[in-house]
C-alpha cells in the first residue's frame, strides 16, 4: 500500500490547536505500517471520552470543546481517521473502504488499550465508531453520537439505483454552490425508506459526485462555508481564486480554512475525503452484512446510549428516528442546533450534554 505522510511543517503556527501529538502504528492487511494520530488531553485519571470526527475534517473539529471537557475533569482522546489530519494517508481510492476504516480504528483502539470509555461520534466518526464499539464492546461503558447513524438499506427501488449510477457516470460538472443547493433539499426522511421519488440518496449523490470528481477538493473553502458566517462577496472572491488554481494564495483565509487545508499539501493527499462519501451505505452495497450485524448488536445494548442531534442538519435530520429504533435503550437529548458540524458551532452546549452524560450514573 502506498502511504503518504503530511510533513509536520504543514501544521506549524496553527491557531487554536495547542495539543501535543500522539502516534500509534498499526499493521494493515497487506503488511504496511499505518501511523494514526490522536490527541490526549485532560487528567490521565479522568473518565475517558473517545471523540471521533467524520469527513472531510479532523480532530481540529474538537478544539473548541476540549477546554470545556477537560475543565470538567474528562480525559479527551480524539483520533484522526487514516486519510485525515495528522494521520497517514493511503494514496489510492481502493484503500478507503468502510471495512478498512473500521478495521484500522479497531486496531488503533486495541493497540492503545483504552478501556472504560465513553464514545462520541459524528458523521463518519459515527459510522466507523459505532462499528468499532460493536467489535470491542467491553472497552466502552457508554455510547453517544449525533448527526450520524448506522444506515442499513438492503433494498432500494431499481429506479433509484439506475438514477444514481447514471448520475455518477455523467459528465455533469458540479460546483460547491450547485452541490450545496441539492444537498440542502434533503427532507429528513430516513435512509431506510423505500421512496423512489424522494429517496435521500438522490440528493446525497451530489455530495458523493462532487467529492470524487473534484481532484483538488477545496477543503478550506468548504469548511469555512459550512462552519463560519461569510459574506457572499467573500465566498465568491475566494472561489474565484480556486477556479483559477490559486486557492492556496487567497489572502483572506480564516483560521478555519487554513486548518482544514493543512493536512493536504497537494491533491495526492486528498484521496480519503474524495473517496469516503461514496462508501456511505445509502443504497445496498458490500457493507450490508456488517451493518446488519452491528445493528443487531445495538438492539441488545443495555449500557447508556445518548442520541445527540443538532436537529437543523438536512443531511441527518431523519436519521435519529432510525437510531432510536436500532437501539431501544437509547435516549434522545434535546436538539441543540448548529448544523452538521455542531462541535464547532455549539461547542459549549454539546460539551455540557456529554459532561452530564458521562458523570450521571446509569444514564
Q: Which of 80, 88, 123, 322 is catalytic?
A: 123
Q: How far is CA 296 from the centre of its chain?
A: 23
Catalytic site residue 340?
yes
The SS3 assignment for 104 reads helix
Q: Which of 80, 95, 313, 322 is catalytic?
A: 313
Closest CA to 212 of 249, 259, 265, 167: 167
Count CA atoms closer than 13 A to 19's CA, side-chain side: 27
Let me know: does 130 contact 110? Beta carbons within 8 Å. Answer: no
The SS3 assignment for 35 reads strand
Catalytic site residue 123?
yes
Helices (H), the chain: 66-71, 98-112, 124-135, 158-169, 176-183, 201-213, 219-227, 232-243, 255-261, 271-275, 288-299, 319-326, 342-345, 347-359
Q: Helix count (H) and strand count (E) of the chain? A: 14, 10
Catalytic site residue 313?
yes
Q: What is the dihedral of CA 273, 204, 52, 218, to 10 degrees?
A: 30
User: Which residues are marked as active site?
Assistant: 123, 313, 340
Amino acid at each position: 500500500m502506498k502511504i503518504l505522510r503530511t510533513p509536520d511543517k504543514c501544521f506549524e503556527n496553527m491557531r487554536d490547536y495547542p495539543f501535543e501529538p500522539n502516534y500509534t502504528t498499526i499493521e494493515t492487511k497487506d503488511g504496511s505500517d499505518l501511523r494514526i494520530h490522536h490527541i490526549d488531553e485532560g487528567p490521565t485519571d479522568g473518565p475517558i471520552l473517545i471523540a471521533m470526527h467524520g469527513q472531510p475534517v479532523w480532530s481540529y473539529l474538537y478544539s473548541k470543546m476540549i477546554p470545556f471537557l477537560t475543565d470538567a475533569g474528562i480525559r479527551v482522546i480524539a483520533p484522526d481517521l487514516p486519510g485525515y489530519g495528522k494521520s497517514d494517508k493511503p494514496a489510492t481510492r481502493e484503500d478507503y473502504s468502510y471495512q478498512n476504516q473500521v478495521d484500522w480504528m479497531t486496531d488503533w483502539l486495541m493497540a492503545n488499550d483504552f478501556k472504560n470509555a465513553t464514545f462520541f461520534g459524528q458523521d463518519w466518526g459515527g459510522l466507523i465508531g459505532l462499528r468499532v464499539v460493536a467489535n470491542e464492546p467491553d472497552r466502552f461503558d457508554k455510547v453517544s453520537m449525533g448527526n450520524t447513524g448506522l444506515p442499513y438499506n438492503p433494498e432500494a427501488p431499481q429506479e433509484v439505483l439506475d438514477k444514481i449510477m447514471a448520475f455518477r457516470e455523467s459528465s455533469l460538472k458540479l460546483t460547491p454552490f450547485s452541490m450545496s443547493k441539492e444537498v440542502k433539499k434533503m427532507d429528513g426522511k430516513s435512509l431506510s425508506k423505500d421512496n423512489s421519488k424522494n429517496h435521500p440518496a438522490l440528493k446525497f449523490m451530489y455530495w458523493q459526485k462532487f467529492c470524487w470528481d473534484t481532484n483538488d477538493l477545496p477543503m478550506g473553502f468548504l469548511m469555512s462555508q459550512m462552519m463560519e458566517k461569510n459574506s457572499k462577496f467573500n465566498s465568491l472572491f475566494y472561489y474565484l481564486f480556486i477556479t483559477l488554481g490559486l486557492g492556496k494564495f487567497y489572502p483572506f483565509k480564516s483560521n478555519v480554512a487554513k486548518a482544514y487545508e493543512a493536512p493536504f499539501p497537494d491533491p495526492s493527499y486528498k484521496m480519503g475525503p474524495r473517496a469516503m462519501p461514496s462508501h456511505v451505505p445509502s443504497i445496498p452495497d458490500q457493507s450490508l452484512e456488517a451493518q446488519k450485524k452491528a445493528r443487531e448488536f445495538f438492539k441488545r445494548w443495555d449500557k447508556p446510549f445518548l442520541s445527540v442531534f443538532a436537529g437543523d442538519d438536512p443531511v441527518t435530520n431523519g436519521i435519529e428516528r432510525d437510531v432510536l429504533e436500532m437501539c431501544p435503550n437509547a435516549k434522545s437529548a434535546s436538539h441543540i442546533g448548529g448544523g452538521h458540524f455542531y462541535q464547532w458551532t455549539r461547542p459549549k452546549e454539546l460539551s455540557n450534554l456529554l459532561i452530564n452524560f458521562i458523570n450521571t450514573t446509569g444514564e
